[in-house]
Amino acid sequence: MAAGKAIGCGIAALTVVPLGAVIAMTLVVAGIAEDEEASQLERASCTVSEDAGATSGDLQAVPNGWGPLVEAAAKEAGLPQSVVAAQLNQESGWNENATSSVGAQGVAQFMPATWAAYGDGGDPFSAKDAIPAYGRYMAGLKQEVQSIAGDDADLLVQLTLAAYNAGPGAVQQYKGIPPYQETQKYVSAILDSAQSGFSMDCKAPTGGKSWDGDLGDGEWTTPLPGGVFTSGYGARNVPGLPAWAQDHVGVDISSPGAGFSSGGPVVAPTDLRITGFNDKDGCVIAKEDGDDPDFGFAFCHLNAYSVEKGDTLERGDIIGTEGNRAGLGSVPTHLHFEIYTPEAPDVTYPYEGFNIDPEPILKEKGAWPSS
C-alpha cells in the first residue's frame, strides 16, 4: 500500500487526519448524513416475482398490461427495457392522469410543447399514445448525445437519461453528465431501480453496469449475513473531507445495532483465495478462486481475522468479524467491501484504477443485503 495512506471506509485517508475530517468520515461510514441516508434508503433489493406483472424477455413488473408498450418504446429508443420501465415509473408512478406543477402531463410527463413535437396528434393522458411518443422522444435525445458517448454503450444510456433531465444542451456543454446534483441523482435512481425493480434475474442494465463482462454461473452469498446496506459507491459531498477523499470506492454493510462493538461474521461471497492483508484498516484481501471471473476483493474494518494468506475458501466460509478497525480513528462497526476488476494484481488497494461498484454485481449474483 502507498505510504502514508489508510483506507478508511473505502476513502484513502491521510495518516494524520483533522478532527473535523474524522467526524465527517464517521458520519459517512454510519450512513447518517441526511442527504446520503435518504438516497441510500430509497435503494431497493432485487426482487423477482412470478406474479408481479411479468412480461416477455428481460422485463418484469410493468402494470396495466403495458409491458408490450414499454418493450416497443425501448426498441424505438434503443434503451434497455428495464431502464424505460424505471424511468416511466419514476416520472409518473404509472399514472395516466399524472400532472406536475410545471405542466407536465400523463404517464410519460410530457410538456405541451414537447408533446406537440412527438405526440403525433394523440392524447398525452393515454398510455397507448404517450409511451410510444416517449420512445420517439428518447430516441431523439439519444441521437443528440451519441457523439459524446462514442462507442461506450453504458455512457450513452447515462447521457440520454441526463439529457432528459437537464436537456441535451447541458450534456453537450459539459461533454458528459452535467454536474447538477439533481441530474446525477436522477440518472443513478433510474439505473438502480431498473435493476432492482424491473429486471428479470436482477441483471444490471446497460448504463448501470460497473463491469461489462460475463459474471459467470451460479450465485454468491452476501458478505455480511443479516447486514443492511448503509453507504454506496461513488462521489460524495461531505464537509471536512478533501476533494480526493470524496470518492467512496466500495459499499458499506452494517449489522443493525452493532454500534462500536464487534459485529457479525464476514463470509466469502464466492470461492476465494486469500492474497494479503492491510492490518491498519482491518482488511482481508482476496481473489476469486472458482469458475467466475477472477475479481479481487477487500473486506475491511474487521476486528478479527479467521484466515491466513494462502488459504482457499468456499462460498460461505468465515473470513473474520465485522468491526471498526480503521487507520483514520474510531468508526462505527461495519463492513467496507470493495471489488476490483479481474486484471487487478493479487494484492490491490483503492485508487489504483481497479475499483468497480460492487452493488450491481452483488445484486445480479443474488448477494445483495435483503433488508
Positions marked active-site: 91
* Grid cell 392524447 in the structure block, residue: 123
Neighbours of 95 (CB within 10 A): 14
Residues 6+ apart with CB under 8 A from 331: 8, 9, 25, 26, 29, 30, 301, 324
Instruction: List b or e across 221-258, with b for residues whose CB sees 16 or more CB atoms inside 10 angstroms.
Output: bbbbebbbbbbbbeebebebbeeebebbbbbbbbbeeb
Q: What angle do CA 259, 226, 315 make, to 5 degrees?
A: 125
- Residue type (1 letter), 43: R
**Distance, CA of 301 to CA of 132 (rounded, Å):** 50
The residue type found at 324 is: N
3-state secondary structure 213-237: CCCCCCCCCCCCCCCEEEECCEECC
How far is it, in rounded angstroms, from Cα 336 to Cα 105? 43
Helical axes 181-193 vs 81-92, angle rounded to 10° = 120
| C-alpha separations of 217 from 46, 195, 313, 364 in Å | 18, 18, 18, 11
Run of H or E residues at 262: none
* Of 91, 84, 23, 30, the residue nearest 58 (C-alpha): 84
Contact between 40 and 233 under an 8 Å Cβ cutoff? The reply is no
